[in-house]
Structure 1
Amino acid sequence: GWGVHTCDHSEDAAVICAGSGLADLVHLRLAGGPHRCAGRLQVQHLGRWGGVCGLTWALPAARVTCRALGCGPALRAAQVSVPRDELTWVESLRCEGGEGNLLECQVQVWGAPPCPHAAVTCALPGEA
C-alpha cells in the first residue's frame, strides 16, 4: 500500500510508450525548390516522405528548420497547395525560433487531413 515499501521488485512500475516516431523529425528535406535550402518541408516516416501541414507554419519554425538542415537563415515561410493524395505526416508544428531542432517544438504527428504544405526558403550556407 501507500507509504509501506518492501523495496523489492513487486512494486515496480514502468511506462512503455509505443514508438511515436518523433525521432523521425530529424529526417528532413526540402523538396521541389530551386536549391537544397528551399522547398516544401518533408519528413521521412516509415520509409516514406510526407509533408508538414502549413496551417500553423510560421517563420520561427522555418528558422529552426533552416538550422537543422545546415542552411543559412530563414528568409521566408509559406504555404503551398499540394494534391489531396499527397502524404501529410505532421499535422501541426509550432516553434519559438530558438529551439535546437524540431523535436523541441510543439508537434502533432502522424497523419493529418489534406492541407497546404509548409514551405521555406533559407539562405544557402555562407549567404545571408
Structure 2
Amino acid sequence: MLRLVNGPGRCSGRVEVSYQGSWGSVCGEGWSLKEAHVVCRQLGCGWAVSTPPGAHFGPGFGKILLDNVHCSGEESHLALCAHDTWFTRSCGHEADAGAICSGEGSQRLPVRMDHDSK
C-alpha cells in the first residue's frame, strides 16, 4: 500500500509505504520525477509535477522502509521498482521523499471567477 501524507490534499505529500503491517517513509536521496510518476499513477493522481527535496512535507516518524528506489517511470506500483531490501536505509527522515501530482487535491492555485459585469 502507498499514500501521500502532510500535503494539502491526497495527491501531494510525503511518500509512505506499508510493508508487513508497518507504515514508513521512503528515502528521497536520488528520488526523481520517474519515481514520483509511479507514485502518482498508483494513487490515481495523474502525473508527477514536482519532487520537493529535504522532507518538504515534514519528516516521517518510525521506520524508513525503502531506500535507493530507481524506477523507469513505467511501473504500475512503487514496489516493482528496483530498491534495496525492505528496512535497509542509508538516510534519515530529513531526506524523506515527497511528491506533488497533477491530480485531485494537488497544490494548485485557485481559479477566481468574477461574475460582476461592469
TM range (shorter): 0.7 to 0.9
Q: Deviations over 1:21-51 (max 9, x none)?
A: xxxxxx0000110000000000112322100
The question of whether the paired residues in 2 share the 8 Å contact of 1:88 and 1:113 is answered with no
In the TM superposition, what are the counterparts of 1:48-127 in structure 2 within 5 Å? 48-81=22-55, 82=59, 86-111=62-87, 112-115=89-92, 116-125=95-104
- 1 or 2, which has the higher strand percentage? 1
Q: Given residue 102 of structure 2, which amino acid in structure 1 is its aligned partner?
A: A
Runs of 4+ in 1 over 6 A off after TM superposition: none
Match of 1:45 among 19, 28, 31: 19
TM-score by length of 1: 0.69
TM-score by length of 2: 0.74
Query: How many aligned positions are there?
Result: 100
Instruction: Give the percent of matched residue pairs that are identical in Structure 1 and Structure 2.
Output: 35
Aligned counterparts of 1:104 and 1:47: Cα–Cα separation in 2:
18
* Runs (5+) with no aligned partner, structure 2: 107-118
Which of 1 and 2 has higher RCO (CA within 8 Å, sep 6+)? 2
Matched residue SS, 2:38: helix
Bigger Rg over Cα: 1
The question of whether the paired residues in 2 share the 8 Å contact of 1:57 and 1:78 is answered with no
Question: Which residue of structure 1 aligns with residue 7 of structure 2?
Answer: 33
Aligned counterparts of 2:21 and 2:49: Cα–Cα separation in 1:
30
